[in-house]
Amino acid sequence: MDLTKSIKSKAHDLGFQKIGISSPKEPLAYNDYFDEWISLGKNGTMQWLENRKEERKDIYKYFPEVKSVISLAINYYTDSENSQVKFSKYAHGTDYHIIVKQKLNALLDFIKASLNQNVEGVVCVDSSPIMEKQWAQRSGIGWQGKHTLLINDEIGSWMFLGELLLDIPLEYDKPFIKDLCGSCTTCIDACPTNALSEYHLDATKCISYLTVEHKTDFDTSQKSQLNSWVYGCDICQQVCPWNIKRQQYSSEDLFYPKQEVREYSLIDWLKIDDFSFKKIFKDSPVKRIKYDRFKRNVSAVKHPSNNVD
């Protein structure tokens, strides 16, 4: 088997559903849009997006030797919901940064062991300064929907993205050029904070930003829009017809919800102390916001058992 095929086969064995490879040579589309988005302050307090903007726009500034971008997607769909206190699916179980990084490091080790030459690779999951959705589109995995997330026509959008950048050429896939949103605007209409317009997100209005990135107290209008989400928001994905038609259960056990996330009531969450918070969320993305911000989010949930203005 040639190297490209054996990399894809190994990636499937490691648990990735979609794998595609692209050449870094063509410059990214939408770099002007990205500049404008930042200059209009749509990134809010996510200064880290601006700090490494030039690397995001030009992958050679991040990894000058790159010759292949391997994009990988792993499905994280699970259907458990808790109606009182809502955690988005990406934060139901173990932190995807840990899981996807482990798998990508295993893939890099496999590639190194398969070759008689030196190969340099960089593992990226979310926090690396690259535009992951655009690379996945170029690698043929799917298109960016009007909610701005990447959708695959077989498994929908409940997938995390990761990349392995290599300094060796491989066989490249064709980009995904179709836009299968058509005339649909369901996600835009369903967004409770009007954060979306076509292919554009005002992060400062997004519940995901407000519950995870926003560091200070909520004002009254922000508080009234959170709709019981305490970490992230899934509404634009829940309503998307591609997810309703195509979503499949994740084969990764660690993405399934922790018992507390599934079963705790609002009163249980309001009662937890810093020690229990750290214990419950020790390997979860939720630990990132720390106890005080988690309490701020939980205290904003509207419910008869909570005295919210």
Other CB atoms closer than 10 Å to residue 9's CB: what's the count?
Answer: 12
Tokens of 16: 């990735």
32 labelled catalytic: no
Which range, of 22-30, 33-41, 120-128, 200-208, touches ligand SF4 by CB under 6 A? 200-208
How many angstroms from the chain centroid is the CA of residue 219? 26
Given 126, 153, 167, 283, which residue is catalytic? 126
Nearer to ligand SF4, 242 or 294 (CB): 242
Task: Find the residue with minimal CB distance to ligand B12.
Answer: 232
Extended beta strands in the chain, E state: 18-22, 68-75, 86-87, 121-124, 143-144, 150-151, 159-166, 196-197, 200-201, 229-231
Choose from ligand B12, ligand SF4, none: what does 90 bind? Cβ within 5-8 Å by kind: ligand B12
Sites for ligand SF4 among residues 224-243 (CB under 6 A): 233, 235-236, 239-242
How many angstroms from the chain centroid is the CA of residue 89? 10
Tokens of 56: 């995001």
Axis crossing angle, helix 96-114 with helix 3-14, rounded to the nearest 10: 150
User: How far is residue 110 from each of residues 12, 115, 208, measured CA to CA in Å?
Assistant: 13, 9, 36
* Cβ at position 79, least distance to ligand B12 in Å: 15
Sites for ligand B12 among residues 147-186 (CB under 6 A): 147-150, 157, 159-161
Nearer to ligand SF4, 66 or 240 (CB): 240
> Rounded to an integer, what distance in angstroms lies between the CA atom of residue 47 and that of residue 82?
33
Catalytic residues: 126
Residues that bind ligand B12 (CB under 6 A): 30, 33-34, 37, 46, 49, 88, 90, 125-126, 130-134, 144, 147-150, 157, 159-161, 199-201, 203, 206, 208-209, 212-213, 232-234, 236
The residues binding ligand SF4 (CB under 6 A) are 145-147, 181, 184-187, 191, 193, 195-196, 201, 206-208, 233, 235-236, 239-242
